[in-house]
A and B are shown apart, each in its own frame.
Chain A
Amino acid sequence: QVQLVESGGGVVQPGGSLRLSCAASGFTFRSYGMHWVRQAPGKGLEWVAFIRYDVSNKFYADSVKGRFTISRDNSKKTVYLQMNSLRAEDTAMYYCAKDRLTGYSSTWAFDYWGQGTLVTVSS
């Protein structure tokens, strides 16, 4: 069965950095695009970043552009989110999610999600 397991969350001071990981299993990881989505405490969902299956393209929300970097290692079946220059408003549960379709055929639907890892930015 498909499993996505996030890790790397924690408490960090404003201006600090953190790297999140998402380990995948149960599907052909190298064939699917992967996303990060976050949810601030008590708030709604916010899409953060997307990386194509072959790393040919990476896309970011305006709110994180220039500060966050998405990457993946298909040999390790893992997607990462490097977060720099963190702000209080980046405090959230961070979910990784699998794109529903393989290759370039994305219709931006996320059919499997991890359980999330909590990032708290506070002094």
Chain B
Amino acid sequence: QSALTQPASVSGSPGQSITISCTGTSSDVGGYNYVSWYQQHPGKAPKLMIYDVSNRPSGVSDRFSGSKSGNTASLTISGLQAEDEAEYYCSSYTGSSTLYVFGTGTKVTVL
């Protein structure tokens, strides 16, 4: 089972909106609504930002939103802030023998 495909980097200016894509197949992203997004700052543990495609855990800013179309999921960060600079990973349950797969990761830079 290959990792889900994400762009290596995305950047934006403070206040702007950016979108990170996460492309899989019909066996993972396209087949299940079990897509999550995690934020990871350097040297820190990942933090859950979005679960079940578009749901935010309590305490996560509403500037973060998720969606899915076909085999591609997306994370949008609106009103970009300096503290959003981090690595972001998507993930999905899969129908393969390895039950769960992460994306390749996207480095978000706030210009």
Contacts and interface: CB of A to CB of B under 8 A. Distances in A.
Interface of A: 37, 44-47, 50, 59, 61-63, 95, 100, 107-111, 113-116
Contacts, number: 67
Interface string B50-66: 01100001000000000
A46 B105 CA distance: 11
B1 A62 contact: yes
Nearest to A98: B48
A50 to B, nearest CB: 7
A110 B57 CA distance: 11
Given A44-B105, A47-B100, A109 B45 contact: no
Contacts of A63: 98
Contacts of A47: 91, 98-102
Nearest to A59: B99
Contact of B98 (A37, A44, A62): A62
26 contacts: A37-B46, A44-B89, A44-B104, A45-B38, A45-B46, A45-B91, A46-B102, A47-B100, A61-B99, A62-B1, A100-B48, A107-B33, A107-B51, A107-B93, A108-B92, A108-B93, A108-B100, A109-B51, A110-B36, A110-B46, A111-B48, A111-B57, A113-B45, A113-B46, A114-B45, A116-B45
B3 interface: yes
A107 B50 CA distance: 12
B47 interface: yes
A59 to B, nearest CB: 5
Q: Report the 8 A-B pairs with minimum CB-CB distance, sorted nearest first.
A: A109-B51, A113-B45, A47-B100, A45-B102, A108-B93, A109-B36, A44-B105, A62-B98
Contact of A44 (B36, B51, B52, B102): B102
Contacts of A110: 36, 38, 46, 48
Contacts of A113: 45-47
